[in-house]
Amino acid sequence: MASAAPKLRVVSGGAGATSASALPVVDDAQLIAAICRAEPSAARAFYHRVRPIVDRTLTRLLGANDAEYEDAAQLAFVQLVQAIAKFRQDCPLDAWVSVLTARVVYRLIRERRRERQIFSGLPFDELAATAPRTSGKVISGQILERMRRHLEGMDERRAWTYLLHDVYGYELKEIATILNISVSAAQSRLVRGRGELHDRVAADPDLSRYLDDFAKEEALS
Amino acid sequence: MTEPRYARLMAKVLQRIAGEVKAPTPAQDARGILEIERALMAARRRRQLTVFGAGGASVAAAAAAAAWVLFIEQKPLEPSAQANSAQANAALGQVVNVLAHANGAGVQLRVAGHEQPLTEDAALNPGAAIISGPNSQATLNLSTGTRLMLATRTQFAVEQANAMQRFQLATGSLHAKVAKLGKSQRFVVATPDAEIEVRGTEFDLSVLDHPGQGCEGSHTLLRVSEGVVEVRAAGGVQRIAAGQRWPANCDLDNLTPNNAASTAAVPTQERLRRGGVLRPAPAEPTQSAGGPQPATDEAATGEAAARNSHLLEQNDLFASGVAARRAGNTQAALSAYGDLLARFPNSPLAENAMVERMRLLKKSDPAQAALEAQRYLSRFPNGFAHNEASAILKEHEAKQGGQ
C-alpha cells in the first residue's frame, strides 16, 4: 500500500533540501506577485530571498547574539508578508525588506522597556574581545564602552536616527518609515542628534583624542 | 552651529565594526518558512473575509444566513448581497445562524430527542446537538464568523444563538476561533464543571473522562492560543491569557511521545483550523500506512490542508511558548515547549524548543537546565546551541564540585 504523503514535506528536509540554490529562479516581481496572491508555494522562495537581508539588518541593529534575534527574524517575515501588498516597488526589494526589518527591531527594542539597553545589540563586546583594527588603529574595549555610554546617554530618538542614518546608511525617508515619524522630524532629530553627540564626545578627552587620531590616520591613508 | 565633527568620525568608526552575520540553521530555516506559510494563509483568510465585508449591507431574510456560511466554504471570493445581509444581521445581535458540517460518516444530529445522521449541512437551532463518532468530526460555522471544530467523540449542543451565543460541551474536545463580538454579544461554552466566556479569541477546550494528574479534579481542560478567556468554575472566576492553560498545573509536560499519542483524553491533538475539516492528528506526522488519510472529497486541497495543519499546530505551540516567555510566564512557556516536544518529537522546531527550555530553566532551575542541556547535547551533538549547552553543564558541574 502506498504510504501517506509526507505531511512535513515543506520543511522537513536537511540543509540540502532548504538550500536556496535548489530553488527555481524567479524574479522579484514574480515572487512579490505570488506572495500578494498568498500562494503558500511561494513561501520557501520568498524566505530564501529575504532571509539574508533580514539577517544583515538584525545583525547590525540587534546583534547576532541577541536572545531575541530569531524571534525578531520570524516577526520580520510575518510583517513582510502582511505589508507586501503595499510595496509599490519604487525601491529595490532589498531596501524595502531592510527598512521593514529595522522597524521590527525598533519596535521590539522599545517593547523591552529597557531604554538603557537600546544599543546592547551593537557588537561592542565582541569587538572588544577580538580587538579589531580600524585604519590601522586598535579599538580598545574602553573606547567602545565610551562610545556605547555616549549613545545610551543621548535622547533615545535622536540616537536611533543618528545610528540609522550616519552609521547604517538609511535615507531620511526610510528612517521616517522605521520610526513612524515624518521626514522633517527625522531630519530634525538627525541634526540635533549629531550636535548632541558631538558635544558629548568633545567633553570626553579620551574619546575625542582617539577620534582626532583616527581622523589624522584617515587623512594620511 | 558647530559642525558635528565627532559625530561624523564616530559614525565612520562604527561603520567598520559590523557584526558577523551568522548563517541560519536548518531548524531556523524551517521555522522561518513555517511563519511565512502561516502568514500567507492568514492573509488568504483575511482577504476572503474582506471580500464579504466589502459590499453594502442590505435587508435580507434570516434564511440567507445559511447560504452565506455555505458560500464562505465553497466560493469564498465571490461576494453576495445575501451574505452581507446575513452578516449584518448577525452583527446586530439578532439571530446567529449555526451551520453544521460533518467531516466523515458517523456524525449524529440530535433534535428534540431524535437522532439522525448528519449527511448534509444543517442549520442548528437552539436545543439541537451534534454528536461526532470515533472516526468523524464536525465543523460549525456561525454567521458571526466564528468557527468551532469538534473532534471525534464529542457531544456539543446549541443552547442559545442570538446576542447570547451559548453552547454546551458535554464530552470531547473542540477548537474555537471566535470572531470579534459586538458590545451586546456574548460567547459562552459550558462544560459539566466550568463555563468559558470569551470575546474574540482562539482556544482549545476539552472535557476529560478522568481528570489527569495536576488537573485539580477538573474534567475541563482549556488552552488559550489568542486573547483572554474567562473561566468560571467552582464559584470562582479566572482570566486565562494567551499561552496559558487551565487548570494551570494540568499540563502535558510529563507525557512521553508514546503515551501522549495514546492518550485519547488529550484534546489538542485533534485540531485543525483550515478548510472546514478536522482530522485526528497523530503524535507525529509520519508516512506510515496507518496514519490518518485526507478526506477524499477534498482531494485537491486535502493533502495540503493536512500538512499545513501539523505545521500550524507545531508553529502555534512554539509561538505560544514565545508569547508566554515574553509575557514573563516561564511556566506556561516551558509547558508549551514541552507540549511541542512531547507531541512532535521530530519536529523541525524541536531543537529550538529544547534550547528555549534550556534557557528558561537556566534562570529558574539550574539543575533542570543542566538535565535539559544534557538531553540537548545527546540529541543534537552539533546543534547551534552546543556551546551554550556545554557551558550550562560545566557551570552546573562546577557548582556540584564546589558543594
Strand partners, B386: none
Q: Using CB atoms within 10 A of its CB, is residue A11 exposed (0-12), middle (13-18) or buried (19+)?
A: buried
Q: How confident is the model at residue A186, as a pLDDT?
A: 93
CA-CA distance, A152 to A144, in Å (whole number)? Answer: 12
Beta carbons within 8 Å of B188's beta carbon, 6+ residues apart:
B164, B165, B166, B167, B195, B196, B197
Hey, are the CB atoms on A211 and B10 less than 8 Å from each other? yes
Residue A181 to chain B, least CA–CA distance (Å): 22
Q: What is the mean pLDDT of residues B199-210?
A: 74
> Do B165 and B140 form a contact (C-beta atoms < 8 A)?
no
Distances (CA, A) of B54 to A140, B50, B75, B87, B266: 61, 6, 15, 11, 40
C-alpha closest to that of B248 among B323, B183, B334: B334
Residue A178 to chain B, least CA–CA distance (Å): 19
Encode chain A (221 residues) as per-residue pLDDT tens digits: 334 433 333 333 333 334 444 445 568 888 888 888 888 778 888 999 999 999 988 888 887 777 788 888 988 998 899 888 888 777 888 889 999 999 988 888 777 654 444 444 454 554 444 434 444 455 667 788 888 889 888 888 898 899 889 988 888 998 998 888 999 999 999 999 999 999 999 999 988 998 998 888 888 76
Hey, are the CB atoms on A12 and B310 less than 8 Å from each other? no
Output the nine-digit C-alpha cell for A53. 537581508
Report yes or no: B77 at the A interface, CB cutoff 8 Å.
no
> Do A123 and B17 form a contact (C-beta atoms < 8 A)?
yes
> Do A122 and A144 form a contact (C-beta atoms < 8 A)?
no
Interface predicted TM-score (ipTM): 0.71
* B residues 11-40 closer than 8 Å to A (CB): 11-22, 24, 26, 28-40
> Do A100 and A174 form a contact (C-beta atoms < 8 A)?
no
> Closest chain A residue to B306 measured between Cα atoms?
A7
- pLDDT per residue as tens digits for the range B147-191: 888 888 888 999 888 878 889 898 888 888 888 777 667 888 888
- The residue assigned the cell 543621548 is A154
> How many residue contacts between A and B have a Cβ separation below 8 Å?
180
Hey, are the CB atoms on B6 and A208 less than 8 Å from each other? yes
Q: Which alpha helices (H) appear in A37-171, and where do they start and end?
A: 43-61, 69-83, 93-111, 124-130, 141-153, 156-162
Hey, are the CB atoms on B37 and A10 less than 8 Å from each other? yes
Hey, are the CB atoms on A139 and B17 less than 8 Å from each other? yes
Report yes or no: B92 at the A interface, CB cutoff 8 Å.
no
Q: How confident is the model at residue B192 (pLDDT cuts 50, 70, 90)?
A: confident
Q: Closest to A60 (Cβ–Cβ): which among B18, B286, B348?
A: B18
Signed CA dihedral, B57, B58, B60, B64: sign only: negative
Q: Is the pTM of this model over 0.95?
A: no
CA dihedral B199→B201→B206→B207, nearest 10 degrees, is 0
> Do B212 and B299 form a contact (C-beta atoms < 8 A)?
no
- Quick one: which H or E segment has residue B85? helix B81-91
- Rg over alpha carbons for chain B, rounded to the nearest Å, is 24
CA-CA distance, A150 to B4, in Å (whole number)? Answer: 14
- The most confident of A22-31, B8-17, B60-69, by mean pLDDT: B8-17
Residue B63, pLDDT above cutoff 50: no
* A residues 79-138 closer than 8 Å to B (CB): 81-82, 122-124, 126-127, 132, 134
The single-letter DSSP state of residue A66 is -
